[in-house]
Amino acid sequence: MHNSVKNLLNIQDKIKNKSNATPIIIAVSKTFEAKEIIPLLDFGHQHFGENKVQECMKKWPELKNRYKDTNLHMIGKLQTNKVKDCLKYFNYIHSVDSKKLAKKIYDEQIKQNKKIKIFIQINIGNEDQKSGIKVSELDELLFYCETLKLNVIGLMCIPPISSDTKKYFRIMRELKEKYNQKNLSMGMSSDYMDAVEYSSNFLRIGTSIFGERS
């Protein structure tokens, strides 16, 4: 059995008894080549994450053609000029963080006659270098997306490193409840067990599945 498959099974085992509904594990394959992704596809894994539209376009069209049930998740910063291609290949966007981007997705969805699943990204630690909206802007952006009838399915965050991660996960869970959202996208290699404890149901895991990125 390939290492990545072993790692995935190990993660599934660890979270099994931690949550009621089984979270979806997004295998974050950014920087890894097709040959390193194929063992997981052959195993039947269906959710993968990329953070760059261009990288996705290089490796995924062929793979998606062979493994038709694959769901691709855009988890990185999305520029409006990449929305068109993003909608062609991805099934989910986790990083919607402005009205401008929401409007662009709306326009492009009409052109392509498609609807993509969307998470609103929240800059939960108010960090300058991170994307995402402030908590105080959530109300307005959700309302705007609703008027455009976008398919918003939840909230996403990347909490500050090396701090009290659980505190941020707790706030995210409160926001999810307050705004009646169905899903939370949070938890990476270093903190997915904590995320599961706070009801995250979309885990974005790279290193713990594929190994260190070079």
CB contact at 8 A, 150 and 113:
no
Least distance from ligand PLP to the Cβ atom of residue 31, Å: 9
- Chain CA centroid to CA 25, Å: 10
207 binds ligand PLP (CB under 6 A): yes
Identified binder of ligand PLP from the candidate list 158, 172, 184, 196, rule CB under 6 A: 158
Continuous H helices in the chain: 3-16, 34-43, 53-66, 83-89, 99-112, 138-147, 165-178, 192-197, 207-210
Angstrom distance (rounded) from CA 137 to CA 140:
6
Q: Please, which of residues 172-201 interact with ligand PLP by CB under 6 A?
A: 188-190
Least distance from ligand PLP to the Cβ atom of residue 159, Å: 11
Nearest residue (CB) to ligand PLP, 76 versus 145: 76
Count residues near ligand PLP (CB under 6 A). 14
Nearest residue (CB) to ligand PLP, 75 versus 150: 75
3-state secondary structure of 81: helix
206 binds ligand PLP (CB under 6 A): yes
28 binds ligand PLP (CB under 6 A): yes
51 binds ligand PLP (CB under 6 A): yes
76 binds ligand PLP (CB under 6 A): yes
**How far is CA 6 from each of CA 13, 35, 210, rounded to the nearest angstrom?**
11, 16, 10
HSE (side-chain half, CA atoms, 13 Å) at 208 = 18
Least distance from ligand PLP to the Cβ atom of residue 48, Å: 12
* Beta-ladder partners of 121: 156
Identified binder of ligand PLP from the candidate list 30, 52, 84, 103, rule CB under 6 A: 30
Please provide the size of the chain in residues.
Answer: 214
205 binds ligand PLP (CB under 6 A): yes
- Spell out the residues 6+ positions from residue 5 whose beta carbon is closer than 8 angstroms to its own: 39, 40, 43
Least distance from ligand PLP to the Cβ atom of residue 78, Å: 11
Give the residues lining the site for ligand PLP (CB under 6 A): 28, 30, 51, 75-76, 158, 188-190, 204-208
